Amino acid sequence: MTDQTDRYAVIGNPVAHSKSPEIHARFAAQTQQSLIYERLLAPLDGFAAAVRRFIQEGGRGANVTVPFKLEAHALATVLTERAQAAGAANTLRFDGNAILGDNTDGIGLVTDIVRNAGVPVQGKRVLLLGAGGAARGVILPLLSENPLSLTIANRNHAKAVQLVQEFSAQHKNVHADDFTALHEPFDIIINATSASLAAEVPPLSPSVFGNDTLAYDMMYGKEPTVFMRFAMQHGSMARDGLGMLVEQAAESFLLWRNVRPDTAAVFAQLRAAL
Ligand code: ATR
């Protein structure tokens, strides 16, 4: 049933839009790894069954996308610390009967900010917008960089408070604030809300954007997002989430293949093709 070539897939619903097959094919070519990476559309009520079938057919690992990241977390028999903290898994590795669940989204974001944008998180005042799955997934990797403070602001303030409570026992420098309470400039502002999808900007005072602020939107597109435009109008630098996409993929590839691909060329190719 299995042939010689290791198989990987991105599992989602929908999944046709996913750039992961293209990214991993480029990583494989660059690192001279022989593998197949495909798209797997799982029925909304059939994620676990789809994973088990894929394992039987020789699958060695998978990326997991909307709406299955929580189910992937539940299905894993072993979780990395960052997947536990995220409460979601975007990467699975199949090791015999074990399923390792990891979450590479947060480290992907941090790598894009620190290495690619050249902005250290250490010692900085960081503002995280949103309290959904995307926000939760990046909190531990951000805190691991030792920012001066991490402020979480969300439209539904109670959700931000709840999220902070999960981390504040171990990290004293994380707290929740209302959008209306934020006035001073932050060093780094990360938009982890889905507001950009609706072409909306979270209700932030322009004064939080300083001239040295990096405004980062986890969304990306051909054009700057509304959040990026808002930040740039108020004097800040802005960056979209394309680099995070490529870096999270590189971390998955590392987990599976034990080699970290070079992301710069792949990033440039994806950017040019948007
Ligand atoms: P995801 O997995 O992408 O994080 P989610 O869990 O549904 O998706 O969370 C969406 C996040 O975007 C939430 O923080 C949501 O705020 P609420 O909790 O108050 O709903 C936030 N969000 C969505 N649309 C928004 C908008 N127009 N303005 C501000 N925040 C928005």
Please state the rounded mean pLDDT for residues 141-160: 97
Please state the rounded mean pLDDT for residues 35-53: 98
Statement to judge: residues 77 and 182 lie in one domain:
no
Domains held by the chain: number: 2
- pTM, two decimals, is 0.96
pLDDT reading at 42 higher than 90: yes
Q: What is the pLDDT of residue 4?
A: 75
Statement to judge: residues 82 and 116 lie in one domain:
no
Please state the rounded mean pLDDT for residues 138-162: 97
Q: What is the mean pLDDT of the chain?
A: 96
Give domain status of residue 218, yes or no: yes
Looking from the CA of residue 200, the nearest atom of ligand 1 is 27
Statement to judge: residues 113 and 99 lie in one domain:
no
Please state the rounded mean pLDDT for residues 88-92: 98
Closest to 26 in 3D by CA, of 263, 271, 272, 274: 263
Is 69 an active-site residue? yes
Query: Which one of 77, 103, 129 terminates a domain?
Result: 103
Statement to judge: residues 155 and 85 lie in one domain:
no
Statement to judge: residues 77 and 147 lie in one domain:
no
Statement to judge: residues 90 and 132 lie in one domain:
no
| Ligand 1 centre distance from Cα of residue 130 (Å) | 6
Statement to judge: residues 92 and 17 lie in one domain:
yes
Statement to judge: residues 176 and 57 lie in one domain:
no
* CATH code for the domain in which residue 132 is found: 3.40.50.720
Please state the rounded mean pLDDT for residues 249-272: 98
Range of the domain at 147: 106-241
pLDDT reading at 1 higher than 60: no
Q: What is the pLDDT of residue 62?
A: 98
Instruction: Answer whether 202 contacts ligand 1 (Cβ < 6 A).
Output: yes
Q: What is the pLDDT of residue 3?
A: 59
Asked if residue 202 has a cis previous peptide bond (ω within 30° of 0), the answer is no
Statement to judge: residues 60 and 126 lie in one domain:
no
Instruction: Write the pLDDT tens digit of every residue in 175-221.
Output: 999 999 999 999 999 999 999 889 999 999 999 999 999 999 999 99
Contact present, 237 and 217 (Cβ < 8 Å): no
Give domain status of residue 251, yes or no: no
Looking from the CA of residue 136, the nearest atom of ligand 1 is 4
Under 8 Å CB-to-CB from 59, ≥6 apart: which residues?
Answer: 7, 8, 9, 51, 94
Top mutation candidate among 103, 155, 191 for ligand 1, by most atoms within 8 Å of CB: 155
Give domain status of residue 254, yes or no: no
